[in-house]
A and B are shown apart, each in its own frame.
Chain A
Amino acid sequence: MQTSQQVIDTYFLDMRHNLLELCAFFDRYDVAVKRSGQPTNIERYRMLTDALSIVADKDNPNRAETLLNLLSDQT
């Protein structure tokens, strides 16, 4: 098992890249909404914005599991 320092050192650049891609995606979406005048696929967009609060939840040790549950058909 890795130490917390090793986890940060190993994955920092990958996670920096992933977060940057995430921000760029939301920027891209906002520009597209502004251009077209109306948002589309609201439900999927909301899922992704809801996911951001899971990412930021420091008290949840199973964020990947919680995110996959959020993205699952709950019927």
Chain B
Amino acid sequence: MFIIQPHYHAIARTCQDYERMAQSGVVAVAEPAFWAGFDRDYHETFLDYFKQISEFEPTRAAEYGIRHFCWVAVNPKEADNLELARSVLKEMPKYFDRPTVLGVGETGLNKSTQNEITVMEEHIELSIRYDQLLLIHTPHLADKLKGTRIILDVLKNFPKLNRDKVWIDHVENHTVKMVKDNGYWYGFTLYPITKCSINRCADMIEQYGIDRLLVNSSADWGPSDPMLLQQSIQELTRRGHTRDEIIEIYHNNPVKYLTQCPKFDIKPIKFCT
């Protein structure tokens, strides 16, 4: 199996995770900029983080034969600090030219405050100005429904935005239809307890199909598991889904989306019997 993990917080994980992923068929990961678990005080801390995910982490992944790509952004958890967010946004274009940076992400909303919305809008503007892919995080738990609606409303205000380049992540049963109907790429993020379970992921694949779907397991520093992607493949296999369909979901769909950034040079594959 050849798996692309399009949303993976590698710096929070050990080399053993890379090893297990490589052994189970993962060929590439893409790491969006994330919250550190505490709110950072200095914009330089973000810049060092961008350096870590765009320079150092690809070398660590390469030890296991895995390609590592990344995204840069001020994540929504820290976007309420307008001054700090803007000082980081100002520096972000420097990173767009780096060989493994795919675009702007993950921006989006957490508690859907006005400052978060403003910072998300500024990320969207930046992605349009520099023609970057755009990865949008939807809020957690009780905040997801309202936040997703706001995100879709905000996106409507950007007529120049190419929807093919926008991926709205962490959708669940109650938000998948509204995101899909608006023409965006959408992600199911597999977690042991929160977000999407492997069974509900398979249910939604059967209900909504696989067009524009990006399955990922995020795997950050909290309770999470990079191997949930492999478990979801096992669940689909158990339900009788074909290997061709599984390759489309876990390899070729990420390729279709991510190759819109020419730096992502992995080709689609076909299973021959």
Contact = CB atoms under 8 A, between A and B. Distances in A.
Interface of A: 1-2, 10-11, 62, 64-65, 68-69, 71-75
23 contacts: A1-B239, A1-B240, A2-B239, A2-B240, A10-B238, A62-B173, A64-B173, A64-B200, A65-B173, A65-B174, A68-B172, A68-B173, A69-B145, A69-B174, A71-B141, A71-B142, A72-B143, A72-B144, A72-B145, A72-B146, A73-B143, A73-B145, A73-B146
Contacts of B173: 62, 64-65, 68
A72 B172 CA distance: 12
A11 B203 CA distance: 13
A20 B100 CA distance: 48
Interface string B237-258: 0111000000000000000000
Nearest to B174: A68
Contact of B145 (A2, A10, A68): A68
Interface of B: 141-146, 172-174, 199-200, 203, 206, 238-240
A72 B174 contact: yes
Contacts, number: 35
A62 B238 CA distance: 22
A10 B94 CA distance: 51
Nearest to A65: B173
A52 B174 CA distance: 18
Contacts of A71: 141-142
A62 B206 CA distance: 13
B233 to A, nearest CB: 16
Given A11-B199, A72-B174, 10 more contacts: A1-B239, A64-B200, A68-B144, A68-B174, A69-B145, A69-B174, A71-B142, A72-B143, A72-B146, A74-B145
A67 B143 CA distance: 14
A14 to B, nearest CB: 8
Contacts of B141: 71
B196 to A, nearest CB: 10
Nearest to A3: B240
B239 A64 contact: no
A64 B196 CA distance: 11
Contacts of B145: 68-69, 72-74
Contacts of A10: 238
Residue among B146, B173, B200, B206 facing the most chain A CB atoms (10 A cut-off): B173
Going nearest first, the 8 A-B pairs with the smallest beta carbon separation are: A72-B145, A68-B174, A65-B173, A64-B173, A73-B142, A65-B174, A69-B174, A73-B146
Contacts of A65: 173-174
Nearest to A7: B239
Nearest to B144: A72
Contacts of B146: 72-75
Nearest to B143: A73
A11 B199 CA distance: 10
B142 A72 contact: yes
A21 B257 CA distance: 40
Contacts of A75: 146
